[in-house]
Structure 1
Amino acid sequence: MTERKVIRAVNGLNQQIDSVVEAMQLAEPYLDSESIDLAASVIRKSESRRQLSSEHVVVGLFGATGSGKSTLFNALVGSELASTGVIRPTTTNTVAAIWDTENSGELLDWLEVTDRHVIAESSGPKRRSAKNDFDSGLLLLDLPDMDSTRVEHHEIAKRLVGQVDFLVWVLDPQKYADASIHHGYLNSLRSQQGNILIVLNQIDRVAESDRNTIVSSLRDILLASGLDRLPIVCASATTGEGLEEVHRQIAAAAKNKAIATRRLRADVDQVVHHLSEELGVGKVRLPSQMSQSELERTIANAHGAQYIADAVETSYKLRAARRTGWPLTTWLTRLRNDPLQRMNLGRKRDDPELSITSRPELSVAESAAIDHAVDTYVQQAIEDLPDSWNEPIREQVGSNLQQLDGAVDAAIAGTDLGIEKTSWWWPLVKFIQWVSLLAALAGALWLAAYPLAGYFQFNLPEAPRVEGIAVPTLILVIGVLLGIVLGIGCSFVNRIVAKVKRRKALKNIERSVSGLVRTAVVEPVDEYLNTYNRYAALITSAAKKAE
């Protein structure tokens, strides 16, 4: 592989890892523990391996007891490094053959391999040609038997299966169909098919007429497990049959300096595909503005927005009647209670946010309406999310709603209802009303003076007339009519203005409540969905880079 391809492979892996790391930081609270553990394990392993020698390729020989794995290992390195025999288990610790020690120490420390042997350049079976010599960057490992009766040996083999760059599975031709081998190990490595070699060892123990049947049967088993691209080499470390092909495959792997990156890439791809399958959708839409408005309006109405707006209308008409009505009848308006005052609203306050209203507690129906509106809004927002993403936002919104009632009360108390100040024309009308009343009173007194003067035998000058009507009579009639007409006219105007005040008050209340609803429900939901969309975009991007 050219240096450019190696660099491209490394860059691709780095981008994938960065995407997965960022995605996990966003989604860790919402994913199941299995997905988190899988991603964390792979990322941790990938980060560790990337920091170690890139000039070395780690090839591991895996196999069960009696498969001839250690014998094959010795034949490949040309030295009796691994113990062989019939005692179970034969291999009890990992043995490493090293062709180049430079920068290999830290890598072997990471692999936790302590039994290390440096191979001289002249080492190796005589049958091997010079052109097939192993690359100096090869680290060949003989692992403990994977079916070892000792738990620690089994754990070492299991751990190294996930760490080596290239896996050589050594199978006994008489036990190649062992279910524990396939279901316990090979089935979990479907993503690593380009980094696995199957060696059907000890083939000399099988009659030549049966070999094709065994190989065909093994391929069928591998195919059923989704491993359809694994090369199979029949070999015998004892007779040397097939040993050159095994050597050639390992040598090719050792020369491929990007194989470690490819191995890590396959592991990361597996994580990405796993996370991608759980996405559900690549992007979710935020709830519509219409849904948000409906939610805000429902909560505002449940907290009495319409009722308060009606009270504003009534209160304005009462206050206006007291200020603009006929002075002789305005006292009747004081017999009616101001609904805003009963709710402790509509008053000037130095700090309205510290005040509370006297509104009645929310009824069961009103509370149910709020809960239903919020549930509907949240459900619409999360209906396309994976199940693991559903509950956290419900819990967060539910917690916010517990604080909403008191906050809404304070917000309504601080809302400008538009009736705290008197209308500019009320004093003018009030002045005219009093002038008309005084004029009517003056006319009445003038008229009353004539019979009173006659009773006391006084002669008063005759009252002037206008069009035959006595001036005091005219003043009385005009004063009374003016007060009545002005009161009726102002009442009509006040009703119109009161409806305008009602609409403005309702809008202001809804605006105040809407701000709280956005803080408690809308914004957390939007932020939550945006977090999911960023997570989904990262996973989708990483999946597109998957091989």
Structure 2
Amino acid sequence: MSERKVLRAQASLSGQIDSLSEAMKLGESYLDPQTVDFAALVMSRAEARRQLSSDHVVIGLFGATGSGKSSLFNELAGAQLARTGVIRPTTTKTIAAIWNPEGSGELLDWLEVDDRHVVDSMFGATTAPRGTTPSGGLILLDLPDMDSTALEHHEIVERLSGQVDVMVWVLDPQKYADASIHQGYLDGLGSHEGNLLVVLNQIDLIAASDRAAIQKSLTGLLAQDGFRGLEILPASSRTGEGIDALRTRIAKLAENKALSIRRLKADVDQVIHRLVAELGVEQVNLPGKLDQDELEQGIAAAHGVDLIADAAERSYLLRASSHTGWPLTSWVIRFKNDPLKRMNLGRNHEHPELALTSRPPLSVAQSATIKQSVNTYLSKATDGMPVGWSEELRASTTDHLDELDQDIDVAIATTDLAIDKKSWWWPLTKVLQWASIIVALGGALWLGALAVAGYLQFAVPEPPMVEGFPIPTLMLLVGLLLGIVLGIAGSFVNRMVAKMKRKHVHRNLERSVAGVVRQHIVDPVAAHLDQFNSYADLINQAAKKAD
């Protein structure tokens, strides 16, 4: 790979890791813990490997007990570095053969390999064929047997399988189909095909007539593991068959300085594909204005906004009747209970923010209505959202419904109902009412005086006439009629104004409730959706650079 392509691959990988790191900060608490741990492991491993030597390619030999892995390692290294024999397992710790060791120390420290051996550039063979010399930096590792009964051996294999740049799986004719190899390790490594070799070792133990069938069988098994074009290299450390071809392949790998980047990118791509699969949708949208209105109005109705508005209407009518009714009887209205005051509303508290209403607790039906309104809104908000994100939003929202109810009660108690203000026509009506009473009373007294005088047979002048009607009679009739008209007109106007007041109170209460609903539900939901959309955008950006 040219230097330009290497730099391009490095830039692409860096961009993916940056996007993935930011995405994990946003979505860590909403993702499956295993996914989070896997992503954290891959990113930490990628960050660490990028800081270490890029001049060395790390190749690990993996295999089961008896596969001849250590013998193959010794043959490639040109020295008896790994112990071989009949005792199993023969490899109990990782052994490193190092070509061009300068700068490899920190890399080997990170790999946690202490048994290190520097070998010459000719694989230890003075007659090595041309093309088998790894002129670049190379670290060849012989790992413990992957099917060892020792737990620490499994841990080493598991760890290094994620750290080496190239995995060479050494299979033997007896165990090449072992499920512990395919299901335990190879299955799921399909994305790493460019960083993986398969060696069918001990090929000398297979009759020439059976080799094609065994290779075909192994090819089928590898295809089931996700490998479609993976070449199988036959070899035998005992007879030397295929060793030069394997040396040549490893020498070429040692020249490819982009292998570590390609391996890291494959790991990062695997994380990204896993996160994309869990993503569900690229973006989610906040429910529309109509949905928000339904939520706010549903909660307001459950909190009795209609009943409070009705009470405000009746309260206004009571106060209006006491100010505009017939003065001789309107005082009785003052003894009637004000429905707003029974709820501890409309009292003009000096510190209204400390006031609470005297409304009864929410009924089961009202609480169910609130929950239903909230659930409907959340269902629309989380449509298509991954389960972890939607469940967290639902849980956090429903956990705060009690606080929502308390704050709504305070909001209702502090809402300016504007019921205590007197209407401008009340004093005028009161003056006219008293004037009508005085006129009627004056006419009645006048007529009474005339009647008494006539009864006592006093000579009294005839009362003045207007259009043939005595003025005292007119005064009585006009006073009574004016009182009746004022009463009817005042009642009509008061009812019209009361309905207007009801609408005004209802609107103000809905605004107060809506403000609390936005604070406790709409705004947190919007923030959660923005966070998810930012997370999804970062994941999608990283996915565009994935293979």
Give the TM-score taking structure 2 as reference length: 0.95
Q: Kindly indicate whether the alpha-carbon contact (under 8 Å) linking 2:315 and 2:340 is maintained by their aligned counterparts in 1.
A: yes
The one-letter amino acid of 1:417's match is L
The CA deviation at 1:304 is 1.0
Residue 375 of structure 2 is matched in structure 1 by 375
C-alpha contact 1:54 1:257 (8 A) present in aligned 2: yes
Residues 125-140 of structure 1 mapped to structure 2, 5 A cutoff:
125-140=125-140
1:515 paired residue number: 515
Report if aligned partners of 1:318, 1:333 keep a CA contact under 8 Å in 2.
yes
Task: Give the letter aligned to residue 339 of structure 1.
Answer: P
1:316 and 2:319 matched: no
* Residue in 2 that maps onto 1:58: 58
In structure 1, distance between residues paired with 2:152 and 2:408: 63
Range 437-446 or range 254-263, more displaced: 437-446
Whether contact under 8 Å (1:95, 1:143) holds in the other structure is yes
Match of 2:197 in 1: 197
Matches within 5 A, 1:450-469: 450-453=450-453, 461-469=461-469
Deviation at 1:25, TM superposition (A): 1.7
Quote how far apart the aligned CAs of 1:163 are.
0.8
Residues of 1 paired with 2:235 and 2:429: CA distance?
Answer: 115
Describe the SS at the equivalent of 1:168: strand
Distance of 1:138 and 1:491 partners within structure 2: 101
Q: Which residue in 2 is equivalent to 1:175?
A: 175
| Counterpart Cα distance in 2 of 1:343 and 1:478 | 43
Alignment partner, residue 423 of structure 2: 423
Match of 1:259 in 2: 259
Aligned residues: 547
- Equivalents in 2 of 1:35, 1:137: separation in Å? 34
1:189-224 CA distance string (max 9 Å, x none): 222111001111222232222222221111111112
1:260 counterpart letter in structure 2: S
Structure 1 pair 280–122 and aligned structure 2 pair: CA distance change class (3 A): closer
What are the residue-to-residue correspondences of 1:380-419 with 2, within 5 Å? 380-419=380-419
Distance 1:429 1:157 in 2: 98
Equivalent residues in 2 for 1:10-409 (5 A)? 10-121=10-121, 124-409=124-409
Q: CA deviation at 1:445?
A: 2.7
Alpha-carbon distance between aligned partners in 2 of 1:348 and 1:428, rounded to the nearest angstrom: 25
List runs of 5+ in structure 1 lacking aligned partners: none
Match of residue 536 from structure 2: 536
Work out whether residues 415 and 508 of structure 2, in 8 Å CA contact, stay in contact via their aligned partners in 1.
Answer: yes
Displacement of 1:506 in angstroms is 0.7
Which stretch of the first structure deviates more once superposed, 69-78 or 264-273? Answer: 69-78
> In the TM superposition, what are the counterparts of 1:477-496 in structure 2 within 5 Å?
477-496=477-496
How many angstroms does 1:236 deviate by? 2.0
User: Matches of 2:63 and 2:122 in 1, distance apart?
Assistant: 28
- Partner of 2:139: helix, strand, or coil? strand
1:121 deviates by 3.9
Q: What is the deviation of 1:422?
A: 0.8
Extract unaligned runs of 5+ from structure 2: none
Pick which of 173-182 and 106-115 moved more: 173-182
- Give the Å deviation of 1:133: 1.5
Q: Distance in 1 between matches of 2:123 and 2:33?
A: 49
CA–CA distance in structure 2, aligned partners of residues 152 and 307 of structure 1 = 72
Distance 1:122 1:361 in 2: 88
* Secondary structure of residue in 2 paired with 1:140: strand
SS in 1 for 2:327: coil
Q: CA deviation at 1:411?
A: 1.1
Computed over aligned residues only, the root mean square deviation of the Cα atoms, in angstroms, reads 2.0
Return the letter of the residue paired with 2:346.
G
SS at match of 1:278: helix
**Change in CA separation of 1:288 and 1:122 when aligned onto 2, cut-off 3 Å:** closer
Give the whole-Å Cα distance in 1 for the aligned partners of 2:83 and 2:371.
Answer: 72
- Is the CA contact 1:75–1:125 (under 8 Å) kept in the aligned structure 2? no
Q: Which amino acid aligns with 2:543?
A: A
TM-superposed CA distance for 1:450, in Å, is: 2.9
Aligned to 1:132, the other structure's residue is in SS state: coil
Change (3 A) 1:364 1:67: closer
Residues 122 and 133 in structure 2, CA contact (< 8 A), matched pair in contact too = no
CA shift, 1:439, in A, is 2.5
| 1-structure distance, mates of 2:173, 2:185 | 18
**2:445 aligns to what?**
445
SS at match of 2:189: helix
Shift in Å, 1:461: 4.8
What is the CA deviation profile of residues 58-78 of structure 1, one whole-angstrom value per residue up to 9, with x for unaligned ones? 111112222222222222222
CA distance in structure 2 between the partners assigned to 1:288 and 1:122 by the alignment = 71
User: Which residue pairs with 2:545 in the alignment?
Assistant: 545
Q: Deviation string for 1:485-530 (max 9, x for gaps)?
A: 1221121111111111111111111111111122222222222233
Q: Whole-Å Cα distance in 2 between the matches of residues 154 and 344 of structure 1?
A: 72
Q: Report the 3-state secondary structure (helix = DSSP H, G, I; strand = E; otherwise coil) of the residue aligned with 1:62.
A: strand
3-state SS in 2 of match to 1:281? coil
Q: Secondary structure at the match of 2:320?
A: helix
